[in-house]
A and B are shown apart, each in its own frame.
Chain A
Amino acid sequence: MFDALMDARTIALDDSHGDVLLIVMRGEHDIYTAPALRDRLEEALGEAPTGVIVDLSGSTFLDSSILGALLDARRQAIERSIGYVVCLGEDPEPGVARILEITGLVPVFPVVRSRAEALEAARVAPADA
């Protein structure tokens, strides 16, 4: 019954950018995929990279379970002085942009649009703890 839904949701670790690791999320993500996202984020932070980017440009839906996972990872990144940034893409799904905007989380993560901006920001260690 749930196979078609599960096929549309992926969370992949992209290590092709040297010292910055990308978590690339596609499709709809909610409480069902939040544990897998937490695992991937932990895996990425555990590699002690310079920075971690969560790429939401292919995401079509996020809920507060996902925001919770992203915020927990941000806290861990700050503790370990690892750069952390959320990349929304140039043409994000309106609902994904909206949840980040109405919760005021755009400057918190921070959220940027382009992959190039994200790579640059992720190489800057977070200043506050």
Chain B
Amino acid sequence: MSDEAPIVHLDLPARPEGVGVVRQALVGVADGLAIDGGILSDAKMAVTEACTNAVVHAYEDDLGRLDVEMYADQEQFTVVVRDRGVGIAPRPARSSSTALGLGLPLIAALSDSFEVRGGPGQGTEVRMSFSYEREADPADENPITGGPGPTGRWES
């Protein structure tokens, strides 16, 4: 799939106002593919969480970029969200009040498959795929456990 050209490629400032733009693009792609409303709804949420992670955690300032590609084949569509930030590391959010810590659990519960790549200094790539026809609800396969802790962070 990575050899194919994406049907959508967005390169945006990694800022909060860009996340809704990515969702709008996703809705446009879904219209073209006649994707089921429930699957689109899950995809919007998972992709939002991936973009939000990049906006909140990837960069030290407002100058970073958010790179999003969307692909489609016969069985599924795939959204790849990439940043060129500090990479996967236990780093606090730029604004601590915005981070609940539910991003990855939601991505796992709402996508049919996903993969996170990256490391310190390499940026982060989140690749999420959504089947056009589901055999099972991914939220049953990867249920979200835990609840809100006393500090405001999600505790599993």
| CB proximity to A under 8 Å, residues B100-156 | 100, 102-103, 106, 109-110, 139, 143-144, 147-148, 152
For A38, what are the chain B residues with a Cβ–Cβ distance below 8 Å?
97
For A68, what are the chain B residues with a Cβ–Cβ distance below 8 Å?
97-100, 102, 152
A67 and B100 in contact (CB under 8 A), knowing A30-B48, A32-B16, A103-B144? yes
Size band of the interface chain A makes with B:
20 to 34
Q: Is B68 an interface residue (CB 8 A)?
A: no
Size band of the interface chain B makes with A:
20 to 34
A23 to B16, CA, bound (A): 22
| CB proximity to A under 8 Å, residues B43-94 | 44-45, 48-49, 52, 55-56
Q: What residues of chain A have their CB less than 8 Å away from a CB belonging to chain B?
A: 1-2, 5, 28, 30-32, 34-35, 38, 61, 63-65, 67-68, 71-72, 75, 94-95, 98-99, 102-105, 108
Q: What residues of chain B have their CB less than 8 Å away from a CB belonging to chain A?
A: 16-17, 19-21, 23-24, 37-38, 41-42, 44-45, 48-49, 52, 55-56, 97-100, 102-103, 106, 109-110, 139, 143-144, 147-148, 152
Q: Could you name 14 residue pairs across A and B whose Cβ atoms are closer than 8 Å? A: A28-B23, A30-B16, A30-B48, A31-B19, A31-B52, A32-B20, A34-B16, A61-B44, A63-B45, A64-B103, A68-B97, A98-B41, A102-B143, A108-B147
